Every structure is written in structure tokens, then in C-alpha cells.
Homo-oligomer: A and B are copies of this chain.
Amino acid sequence: MALDAISLPDVSGLTVGILGGTGDQGRGLAYRLARAGQRIVIGSRSAERASAAAAEIAALAGEPADVTGADNAAVAAESDIVIVAVPWDGHGDLLASLREPLTGKLVVDCVNPLGFDKHGPYALRVPEGSAAEQAAALLPDSTVCAAFHHVSAALLADPEVAEMQLDVLVLGEEREKVAVVQALANRIPGMRGVYAGRLRNAHQVEAFTANLIAINKRYKSHAGIRVTDV
């Protein structure tokens, strides 16, 4: 069935927590979703830093943005959907420590395991296959999806950008949960959530961020992707 003919759930009442919400990607997603009217809770190791970032994001997003901050464990417990936007270093340790508060939650991993050297970025080997599969292995009592890998943090955070003209690839095992993540992406004007396969095919989606960085360097762009013919 064509993408635009598939009805998605109403997610406007859900609270979205963002682990690593003080980093560039997490902060940008928080801003865009808050601006779209989503209730956001920013997570960080430090509740104080989380609250400070939340206040900044709320001010930027304007009324009636609902953005608060808390430490990562409190965010996990308080949220319906938990976006993981932490650096790859420490990804596994953080999620392992949050197994209990993340029980029953929808966890959306958007982490890209990349290395950098003088030739630029490259994909790191992940023993579990991908960051998303690592999350799924560490969180057997949560549902893990993968999404939001390719959205430019610079564009997300730029108040002058009214629409994000790109697609968010959503990967996961459970169709209903994938639909929730697609609906969340659709909350951001211009953005479409597109199902793009099971978690075992998440590695290449994460790694493709290295190609986007190469594209950005060559063309001075903030590249993303659109899926054609859907």
C-alpha cells in the first residue's frame, strides 16, 4: 500500500524522552519536536545540565513548548517513547544501566557508530551488528526501533528552517511500534517516516551517515535522503 494511504496512530499526547538530549542531535530533535507540540523530557547524566538545556530549547521553540529536563533514569521512567541520542562511546553502558526504567518502553535508537581519521568518517564494526541491535540485546523488556539517523543536527537546530524536507528511515520488528515512530517523524513539517526494514538491516542505515558526511564535505550541504516512488 502506498505510504500516504497508510493510517498512523495519533502520537500527539505521548511524552518523548531524549537520552543525550544535551548533545547536538538530541537537542535538535528536542527542539523540532517541541516546536511541533510534543511534550519533551531532556535526559543527561546531570539533571542540572538537562534542565538548563530544556530551558534553552523551550525558549527557542516558543510558547506553548513543553520541555523539561531530568537525569537519564528519570527520563526513561517518565517517557512513553525514549530516543537514544548519546555518543556511541558509552551507548551500551548507558542502556544496560537503564534496563529497568526502560521496561515496556518504545526505545528509538538514532546512534551512528562511526570512527574518524584523516580520510574522514567510516563505519565501525559493532559486535551485535548495529547500535540498534546492541540496544535490543541489552533491553529485552523494551521494544527497540531505529530512526532519525540522517537528520542534520544543524538544520534541526536552525529556527529559520521551517520544514525538514527529508525522510526518516524507521527500522524495527513490530509493525505497530514502527508506525508510532513513523508518526513521530511525521510530526515535524516536511519529514516523512518510512519503514525501511528489520533491525538486522540497521547497520547500513547507521553507517550511511558516513556517506552523508562525505557528501556534505564535497558539496557544502546538509544532506539527507528522500525515498523515491513511495
Contacts and interface: CB of A to CB of B under 8 A. Distances in A.
A197 B210 contact: yes
Nearest to A210: B201
Counted per complex, copies of this chain come to 2
Interface in A179-207: 194-198, 200-201, 203-205, 207
B214 A194 contact: no
A205 B203 CA distance: 11
Interface stretch (A15-23, A58-66, A67-75, A215-223): A215-223
A217 to B, nearest CB: 9
B123 A198 contact: no
Interface in A38-84: none
Contact of A169 (B211, B220, B230): B211
A166 interface: yes
Contacts of A220: 1-2
A227 B221 CA distance: 10
13 contacts: A2-B220, A119-B198, A120-B197, A152-B229, A165-B228, A194-B215, A197-B210, A201-B211, A204-B204, A204-B207, A204-B208, A204-B210, A223-B229
A104 interface: no
A1 B120 CA distance: 18
A227 B216 CA distance: 10
A204 B195 CA distance: 18
Interface residues of A, number: 43
A211 B205 contact: yes
Interface in A72-115: none
Contact of A225 (B152, B218, B226): B226
A194 to B, nearest CB: 7
A205 B210 CA distance: 10
Given A228-B165, A228-B166, A201 B223 contact: no
Contact of A215 (B1, B197, B221): B197
